[in-house]
Amino acid sequence: MAVNPSAAAVTFPRAVERDSGQPVARCYQCQKCSAGCPLSFAADLKIHQVVRLVQLGLKDEALSARAIWLCTGCKTCQARCPNEIDGARVTDALRVMALRERRPAEKAVKDFHFSFLLMVELLGRAYEVGLILLQKLLTRNLTQDLGLGLRMMARGKLRLLPSRAPGAREVARIFQRARELQ
Amino acid sequence: MKYGYYPGCSLHSTGREYDLSTRAVLGRLGLEVEELKGWNCCGATSAHSTSDFLALALPMRNLALAEAQGRDLLAPCAACYSGLRQAAAALEAGEGRALVAEEEQRRITGRPFTGRVRARHPLEVLSVPDAVAGLKRAVRRPLKGLKVAAYYGCLLVRPPRAAAFEDPEQPRSMERLLSAAGAEPVEWSYRTDCCGAGLAFSRPALVGELCSRLRVEARRAGAEALSTACPLCQTNLESRGAEGRLPVFYFTELLGLALDLGGRGSWFRRHLVSPRPLLSRLGLG
Q: B190 with B261, same domain?
A: yes
pLDDT, position A167: 93
Q: CB contact, 8 Å: A95 with chain B?
A: yes
The stretch B238-252 carries a mean pLDDT of 97
* Predicted local confidence at residue A2, as pLDDT: 59
Q: What is the pLDDT of residues A108-122, one digit of tens each?
A: 999 999 999 999 999
Residues B249 and B216 in one domain: yes
Distance between A73 CA and the closest CA of chain B, angstroms: 7
Nearest-CA distance A170 → chain B (Å): 6
Per-residue pLDDT, averaged over B41-59, amounts to 97
Tell me which residue range forms the domain holding B154: 122-281
Of B60, B87, B120, the domain-final residue: B120
User: Do residues B105 and B21 share a domain?
Assistant: yes
Asked if A73 has any chain B CB less than 8 Å from its own CB, the reply is: yes
ipTM over 0.90: yes
Answer whether B14 sits within 8 Å of A181, measured CB to CB: no
* Residue ranges in chain A whose pLDDT is less than 50: none
Q: Are residues B129 and B94 in the same domain?
A: no
Q: Which pLDDT score, from 0 to 100, does residue A182 have?
A: 85
Nearest chain A CA: its distance from B7 CA (Å)? 11
Report pLDDT digits (tens) over B96-120: 999 999 999 999 999 999 999 999 9
B250 shares its domain with B196: yes
Q: Strand, coil or helix: what is A166? A: coil
Whether A32 and chain B come into contact, CB under 8 Å, resolves to no
pLDDT in tens, B187-232: 999 999 999 999 999 999 999 999 999 999 999 999 999 999 999 9
Half-sphere exposure of B3 (CA within 13 A, CB side): 23
Q: What is the pLDDT of residue A5?
A: 67
Average pLDDT score over chain B: 97
Question: Would an 8 Å CB–CB cutoff place B274 in contact with chain A?
Answer: no
User: CA B93: distance to chain centroid?
Assistant: 25
